Structure 1
Amino acid sequence: MTLTLRALLGACAVGALASAATAETITVATVNNGDMIRMQGLMADFNAKHPDIQVEWVTLEENVLRQRVTTDIATKGGQFDVMTIGTYEAPIWGKQGWLVSLNDLPAEYDVDDLLPAIRGGLTVEGELIAAPFYGESSMVMYRTDLMEAAGLDMPEAPTWEFIKQAAAAMTDKASEQYGICLRGKAGWGENMAFLSAMANSYGAKWFDMDWKPQFDSPEWKATLTDYLMLMNEYGPPGGPNNGFNENLALFQQGKCGMWIDATVAASFVTNPAESTVADKVGFALAPDNGLGKRGNWLWAWNLAIPAGSQKVDAAKAFIAWATSKEYLEAVAANEGWANVPPGTRTSLYENPEYQKVPFAAMTLESINAADPTKPTVDEVPYVGVQFVAIPEFQGIGTAVGQQFSAALAGSSSADDALAAAQVLTTREMTRAGYIK
């Protein structure tokens, strides 16, 4: 080897070390859902495109993530450069000036391709303050073989009465076969996401036009009574501890006849590498009670930059990559179109390859059917389908969720849980100045 070549190679090595030493490290806080875990497995593409940026992950269970990022952003702790936040937090934190605008993402990002329903929830005074990683509504996922064995046909748009009938027909507890799996774990984004959406379809609401809580209404009693009946008579044991991930595992193991939950779960229950019933799954719209509202929600997990980050440019580069059209194509190339993060881009649903995915059309229909500005049968003063878009809801929703989870566990009755929810919500809304 010549002296010149040795010198050249040595210079390259020194340059590589210098590049590694000067690489900027960003910390990304995210939820432990399957799509987020999949993203971490595809980081080689990002690393190749951005060798000057290193990513450290903090991956947390949903309730814990919410607590950590809320505390960090409210106290300006600066632990995270990118936060995974929901459709609930985004507009509230954006109005507080806690999030960095993403209006200057590169032109090839094509912000106009974002689904209007999803983009609208992430825009504050004309500023895009978070980018959607995946969007979702909710729907019924069910075992086609068990439905057939029960002599029933699942309608495309079922009623709650049909759901109750089917849950009874598909339950065989001796064989650990349960007619229905629903969220029971306490949390404003866990059991209360499901119950708030269900309540909408029953004609119930969180507040009247004077912000007075409505848990003493007959509609809320009917909602909670039917929910507890479904869970106690036709659901698996351990219901108060079951959230999204727990029910996903139960369904994949063949334990659930039906599961009403996030549309994003469809790719996981139909993946033969993960689900024992992958070839026996059908889909239907979330149920209704004939009142004009279905029990489906509207949600997106989004990536946002806290205003306290000192690494905004690197954080924007990561977000632009993770929520791009190219990322969707990368997932499709590695794991197939069925596993692409859904519910964010118009172009995805116009793609002929994606249109072949069995749950694609149902997901889009469910997303488009949810209206955050008119979530209930009656007029209400708030925006939000499965949540109320006010800062106080995070604490109130979780406290109410704990009351309803306790009723599910048998430590209180439905009446007692509703009465307690009414008292605590009235107290907090009075303290916050909503009730005069």
Structure 2
Amino acid sequence: MTKTIRALMGATALTAIGFAATAQDTTITIATVNNGDMIRMQGLTDEFTAEHPGITVEWVTLEENVLRQRVTTDISTNGGQFDVMTIGTYEVPIWGAQDWLVSLDDLPEDWDADDLLPAIRGGLTVDGTLYAAPFYGESSMVMYRTDLMEAAGMEMPEAPTWDFIKEAAAAMTDEENEVYGICLRGKAGWGENMAFLTAMSNSFGARWFDEDWAPQFDSEAWANTVDFYLDLLTNYGPPGAANNGFNENLALFQQGKCGMWIDATVAASFVTNPNDSTVADSVGFALAPDNGLGKRGNWLWAWSLAIPAGTDAPEAAKEFVAWATSKAYTELVAENEGWANVPPGTRTSLYENPEYLDAAPFAEMTLQSINAADPTSPTVDPVPYTGVQFVAIPEFAGLGTLVGQEFSAALAGQQSAEEALEAAQALATDEMEAAGYR
């Protein structure tokens, strides 16, 4: 793939966002996930290239698990395939500490780093240096059908328990009409089913490791988590739940087939958009459930744009990153798609904007959920790691996916919960010993 063609032609003016003008005739390749907000960003790329006629943008759009594999392989081998990568709150601190990412501390002053939500900015910062710009931030929450809840004679609390969720799922399930009480992630992957299950397990009092890095999948808390999860989806979930990740469940909810869906807060704009969702006028929101132990089952994440150290077009890459994560981009989306559809969860100013608050009935619950997640204290009992729905160590990506495969197999009926937990315990024990944690 053709990369940068340096054709420096005399002095040029400053760009619209404040960098010294980038070398002309530069191509940048951007790797991103196939989520709705990123697809929308690609559709607006002509706006960027019109402002930056010397930069050509090429996109590589991938399913979430594939994206993670591709960008991890590329950056760890200094492959140089991408100039901008869409990565998350898990990768940024690890890769930034390895000097694999370009510092973004020199983004223009009007980009306004101080406007970033503290919880989101903190997860993208290493030793005071910002290594990624958040495109959207999220926690997780309950999205539910208000009409089905009313028909069941129930009222969703603002802060439900898992027991209430199970009761409501049973009441809303109508298999004859292909309406299922609850939709949850079942697709294997450290950022798919294990993101949900790890956050859920926190609220059940479980943890991946104790303070000595001993795996805890043989604990009663993990058994209770997995049993409850399997019971929910087996009895009240859609067929083939083991194959469903974020995008699959989003489609099911939009089609009116889910009574409840517990997932990323960013989905709210897609389930309430009448152009995409058949149930847009009957969606309510609540905090992720708890079990009365002091932790809710919600996570903290940001899909962010970062620049690998191996790029040969760092200035052009910074131009794009600054554009796509700016307040001006938010206003561009609002102009084209409406305020309810702007990328959420990154800036304080958005949650102080009356136009956004009026257009987005989910805004307050999103912000409340983000602020409720604490990566530095994710579990009921003490742990040696940070991260809410992941463990912030390099080994987690591989280990989390392997463990996720075991739980997905249990959901598919290929093994029991006990067998899945035994396999998870063995996998985690082997990994911790091989990596020198124990």
Q: TM-score range by the shorter chain?
A: over 0.9
Query: In structure 1, what is the equivalent of residue 421 of structure 2?
Result: 418
- Residues 1:101 and 2:97 are matched in the alignment: no
Aligned residues of 2:89 and 2:124 also touching (Cα < 8 A): yes
Post-superposition Cα deviations, 1:107-144, rounded to whole Å, max 9, x if no partner, equal 11011001000000001111100000000000000000
The match for 1:37 is 39
User: In the alignment, which residue of structure 1 is the partner of 2:396?
Assistant: 393
Deviation at 1:227, TM superposition (A): 0.2
Give the number of the structure whose residues are more often helix, by fraction. 1
| Whole-angstrom distance in 2 between the partners of 1:164 and 1:82 | 42
* Match 2:231 to one of 229, 232, 236: 229
Match of 1:384 in 2: 387
The partner residue of 1:25 within 19, 24, 27 is 27
Aligned residue for 1:3?
Answer: none
> Hey, what's the Cα distance between the residues in 1 that align with 2:278 and 2:25?
43
The TM-score normalised by the length of structure 1 is 0.95
SS of the residue 1:287 aligns to: coil
Q: Distance in 1 between matches of 2:194 and 2:389?
A: 7
Mind listing any 5+ residue stretches in structure 2 that lack a counterpart? 1-22
Amino acid at match of 1:368: N
Partner of 2:70: helix, strand, or coil?
helix
Residue 22 of structure 1: CA displacement? 4.8
Pair 1:183-2:185 in alignment = yes
Per the TM alignment, residue 44 of structure 1 is displaced from its structure 2 partner at its CA by 2.1
Q: Match of 1:65?
A: 67
Partner of 1:245: 247
Q: For residue 61 of structure 1, what is the amino acid of its counterpart?
A: E
Give the whole-Å Cα distance in 1 for the aligned partners of 2:422 and 2:41. 43
Matches within 5 A, 1:93-172: 93-172=95-174
Shift of 1:279: 0.2
Match in the other structure for 1:278: 280
* 1:371 aligned partner, one-letter code: D
**Match for residue 263 of structure 1?**
265
Q: Alignment partner for residue 427 of structure 1, among 403, 425, 430?
A: 430
**Aligned letter for 2:25?**
A
Paired with 2:125 and 2:315, the residues of 1 have a C-alpha distance of: 20
Secondary structure at the counterpart of residue 85 of structure 2: strand
* Partner AA of 1:331 in structure 2: V
Distance in 1 between residues matched to 2:51 and 2:364, nearest whole Å = 33
Q: Distance in 2 between matches of 1:297 and 1:267?
A: 18
Distance, in Å, in 1 between the alignment partners of 2:24 and 2:372 is: 48
RMSD value, Cα: 0.8
Q: Which residue of structure 1 aligns with residue 409 of structure 2?
A: 406
CA offset digits 1:145-192 (Å, max 9, x no partner): 000000000000000000000000000111111000000000000000
Q: Deviations over 1:40-66 (max 9, x none)?
A: 111122112111111000000000000
- Inter-partner Cα distance in structure 2 for 1:22 and 1:242: 44
Q: State the match for 2:320 in structure 1.
A: 318
Which of 1 and 2 has greater Rg?
A: 1
**Structure 2 Cα separation of the partners of residues 107 and 172 of structure 1:** 54
Percent identical residues:
79
- Residues 24 and 55 of structure 2 are in contact (CA less than 8 Å); yes or no, is this contact kept in structure 1? no
Alignment partners' CA distance in 2, 1:41 and 1:309: 24
Moved over 3 A (4+): none
Counterpart-to-counterpart distance in 1, 2:162 and 2:339: 32
| Conservation of the 8 A alpha-carbon contact between 2:204 and 2:293 | yes
Q: Which amino acid aligns with 1:147?
A: M
Residue-pair matches, total: 415
Q: With structure 2 as the length reference, what TM-score do the two structures score?
A: 0.94
Return 5+ residue gaps in structure 1 as ranges. Answer: 1-20
Q: Read off the aligned partner of 2:91 and give its amino acid letter.
A: E
**Residues of 1 paired with 2:72 and 2:44: CA distance?**
27
2:381 aligned with 1:362, yes or no? no
